[in-house]
């Protein structure tokens, strides 16, 4: 989806493009990698079920695009709606649960750790 130029990358033109490229899957977490560079990786996920507790190998910034989620960080729950943004340091346990229907989020992995196939964000 990304259009790259040596000086910039056009990653998405808007929510309609994201909805078309990743309509989601009932009862599942549907991930899509939008961009991967040396200093950031951007993942687009549609959540129709919980992302159980896990840890990211890199710091992350998560933004809710559509819907509502409960974002649990080290066992403390936070409600986030469209436009909500949270930062989580590398290695901190967290979980994300859609509330009241599917939710669409972006995850920005900052300075991603490249571990090969099967790593977080692949």
- pLDDT of 5 above 80: no
Structure tokens at 73: 């960080």
Domain range for residue 95?
3-110
Q: What is the CATH number of the domain that holds 35?
A: 2.60.120.10
In a domain, 118, yes or no: no
Residue 38's contacts (CB-CB under 8 Å, 6 or more residues apart) are none
Tally of structural domains, the chain: 1
pLDDT of residue 107: 97
Give residue-wise pLDDT tens across range 61-75: 999 999 999 999 998
Please compute the mean of the pLDDT values over residues 110-117 and round it to a whole number.
70
Is the residue at 89 inside a domain?
yes
Instruction: Say if residues 54 and 92 touch (Cβ distance below 8 Å).
Output: no
Report the predicted TM-score, pTM, of the whole model to 2 decimal places. Answer: 0.86
* pLDDT tens digits, one per residue of 80-94: 999 999 999 999 999
Q: Is residue 98, in this structure, part of any structural domain at all?
A: yes
On the question of pLDDT at 119 being above 60, the answer is no
């Amino acid at each position: 989806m990304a259009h790259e130029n040596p000086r910039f990358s056009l990653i998405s033109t808007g929510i309609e493009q994201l909805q078309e490229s990743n309509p989601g899957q009932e009862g599942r977490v549907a991930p899509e990698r939008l961009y991967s560079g040396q200093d950031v990786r951007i993942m687009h996920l549609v959540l129709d079920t919980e992302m159980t507790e896990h840890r990211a190998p890199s710091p992350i910034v998560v933004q809710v695009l559509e819907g509502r989620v409960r974002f649990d960080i080290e066992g403390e729950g936070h409600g986030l709606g469209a436009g909500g943004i949270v930062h989580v340091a590398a290695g901190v346990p967290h979980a994300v649960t859609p509330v009241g229907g599917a939710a669409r989020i972006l995850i920005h992995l900052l300075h991603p750790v490249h571990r090969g196939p099967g790593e977080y964000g692949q």
